[in-house]
Structure 1
Amino acid sequence: MRLGQTTISFVPDRTISGQPGDFFPDSDWTAHTHLLNDAGEAVANVGSFLIHSSAGVILVDLGLGPGGALLDNLAAEGVTPADVDLVILTHLHRDHVGWAGAFPRARYLVDRTEWEYWSAHPGGVGPDPDRVLPALAQRLGHLDELPAGVRAVPTPGHTPGHTCLLITDPATEERVLILGDLLHTRAQFTEPHWRFRSDVDPDRARHQRADVLAHYRDGRTILAGGHFHGTPFGEEPR
């Protein structure tokens, strides 16, 4: 995806799959079977958005970590770990922070509330307390340090400090909103009331989804979901 002089690519780490009702309790997939695989499973990408801009080389989120293919896939894009200037984290669930510590020059930016919550509640669905939290803490910054062309859109609910990221470039009116886990599947474009199993505050997450969809489905904003199967950019027609 190109926005003026800014490019945005999705770099996979791995995919995960499972019964859709396990991911989205009480969901009805009758109208969305085209999004399931041949075994009737929901499939989700896990990975990172790679941004090349005037601010340098930026990654948004970091996949599940060792055992995945993120570093190999970055290499295929011509990016080494030492090339990465900045890592921005939409939130600190384990499938978004797994490669923390792999980028020797990068600074890590995350919402303050998010960092404070997971520092007090490590493990489980959150960051590994022995491997990931120390790696982040060494070069930690917060979202008031975002570079030009990246704006935080606070969307707490899935986690206490969950944040979407709006990517812009002065050369174009078009923009990309990286959704983090505000939406996990394209089905939620028409089923925004569906809750994900690890939403810390399902009602708040639901309201945030509705507000973002109402505001940013504006004809010039491409909504990008890192967990969307296939291309992460935009709503996929049937």
Structure 2
Amino acid sequence: MPLTHTLGSITITALLDGAGSFFQPRAQAFPDATEAQWREADRRDPDAVGPDGGWWLPFRAFALRRDDGPVVLVDAGIGPADALAASWAPVPGRLPEELSAAGIDPADVRTVVLTHLHTDHVGWAGPLFGNADHLVQRAELAALELFHPELPARLLGPLRAAGRLRVVDGDTELTPGVRVLSTPGHTPGHQSVLVEQGDDRLLVTGDLLVHAIQLVDPSLPYAHEENPPEARRTREHVLRTLTPVLLATPHLTTPFTPHPHPA
């Protein structure tokens, strides 16, 4: 069964679409990290070290549901065998089976928040969620030259034609207690989703952070950030202003991670 966490009346379900080794050594992905920082990151997330010493990472989406109401899905995984991520990610994904195991009918998904347009976050978007608006930041659409060249024809054009592409600018409330936060840097229009219930907070991060080493030192750049200085400022600001917060992360091996990390 997929793992869940509950805040008030909202259940957040972590949906594992797949997992596999990253395509480059982790020291190249985080070239400024020290040996001491790697040791601490490995202590926090030991399963991220693959059998060959490389970076083992999952690919997740998250479903948010208040009681038995409509579902907000954050990200859409790596996708089927012919997905745009097939050249580097472990396709085919199993998001449909994960949704079924969680008791979620894709028809009940009314909003798909795409944190950004990298191929491992959009794989099942579109036809599987025919009742859902797909929410993207305007700044992300303005930077399409940074993404897969087939993205407009394969995903964005059909969504726009069907009236299912919702374009937003900055922070946006989705439902009471659930809002989109603009978190640029990894990509120009990257966004995360914040759930607040009373004094409790959970942040679905997208790729605001991708490895535990960025919790050890949020200033560390990741080689695949479009704007590393902006990503660092955003990451440091979010972690500083929202702490304490539970982080729901697509790529850490534990989907729900408290911040600050318990001693």
Q: TM-score range by the shorter chain?
A: 0.7 to 0.9
The Cα shift of 1:9 comes to: 0.9
CA contact under 8 A between 1:89 and 1:97: conserved in structure 2? yes
CA contact under 8 A between 2:246 and 2:256: conserved in structure 1? no
Deviates more, 1:181-190 or 1:13-22: 13-22
CA contact under 8 A between 2:118 and 2:147: conserved in structure 1? no
**TM-score, normalised relative to structure 2:** 0.80
2:17 to 10, 13, 16: 13
Unpaired runs of 5+ residues, structure 2, are 81-91
Q: Percent identity?
A: 37
Q: How many residues align?
A: 231
Deviates more, 1:97-106 or 1:26-35: 26-35
The C-alpha deviation readout for 1:59-96, integer Å capped at 9, x for no partner, is 00011111101111111111122121111111111111
Map of 1:25-174 to 2, 5 A cutoff? 25-28=31-34, 29-34=38-43, 35=46, 36-53=49-66, 56-66=70-80, 67-101=92-126, 102-118=128-144, 120-123=145-148, 128-137=151-160, 138=162, 139-143=164-168, 144=172, 146-169=174-197, 172-174=198-200
* AA partner of residue 229 (structure 1): T
The Cα shift of 1:133 comes to: 2.3
The C-alpha deviation readout for 1:92-127, integer Å capped at 9, x for no partner, is 111111111111111111111112222x54416xx7
Relative to structure 1, the CA distance from residue 136 to residue 116 in structure 2 (aligned partners, 3 Å threshold; closer, same or farther) is farther
In the aligned structure 1, how far is the partner of 2:189 from the partner of 2:131? 25
The Cα shift of 1:145 comes to: 6.4
2:231 to 202, 205, 213: 205
Unpaired runs of 5+ residues, structure 1, are none
Map of 1:189-228 to 2, 5 A cutoff? 189-218=215-244, 221-228=245-252
In the aligned structure 2, how far is the partner of 1:45 from the partner of 1:131? 24
